[in-house]
Structure 1
């Protein structure tokens, strides 16, 4: 059946936006339309309709996932380079701590975990100096 230009939106609405049509993607839905209908620039009209469809736009994902570049860190001895992270807030403990500070040595993968009351820079620095650096300074 040849569709007049004025009725093209009705056909697209029928095949794309109703429960029986569904948002199956451009190729599958276009094949369903082309089985029964024809009009000039059918593919272009349909692709334009799909680009403007809010349901499809919400479901689309980027074609490539962006990932951070992996870097190789050369570490020659223990505690030469460390990683530090603060996790929380968690429910407050009896001693008033809400956060965990995690320190990991890059060379040995040795983790050190400390409970801290807040994530202020002075609190983190004190724990780092008095609990990590002082204990491992001989290395």
Structure 2
């Protein structure tokens, strides 16, 4: 579809700043737009729109590069190994939630995100069993950092009963759980751009964030 010049800002608003746009960069925004639309100087307009986006400028800021490359962990099948982490605390939402629990598969990079009111071991273990294991099955291995909730007797016993092996990152070295840590950064940046002014609706915006992630 050839877009009239007067409608170009509407397309840019939808595909970059809308709930399904996710404030992606120039390359990904341009790819999404070109799937359906065409107009002269499309690339220049997309670059100009992304450069002037105040939400992107406020959230992204300067990039800090890691000192060394992350060490790869090879897996051979979906759900062979998963990573789990808790992000937060965030401002208490209208539903009483303060944290996100993130679960990711190392093979497919498929993310699952759950809003939770606290990060107690019993809450995390209950959500993991009923929302993850019951839907996808029990993985061979679960990897996490050394938070007390993941190292607690409740969580360890849950892993033992379910028959999955528990591994952990080394102390003061979160890069060894880099996949889920990087996703947490992406999720938090997305939420910072789309939440309402009072920041009490963040736990209802993560579905759009996952939708944007799947589109990538």
* TM-score normalized by the length of structure 2: 0.32
Larger radius of gyration between Structure 1 and Structure 2: 1
* TM-score normalized by the length of structure 1: 0.48
Higher helix share: 2
Higher RCO (C-alpha 8 Å, min separation 6): 2
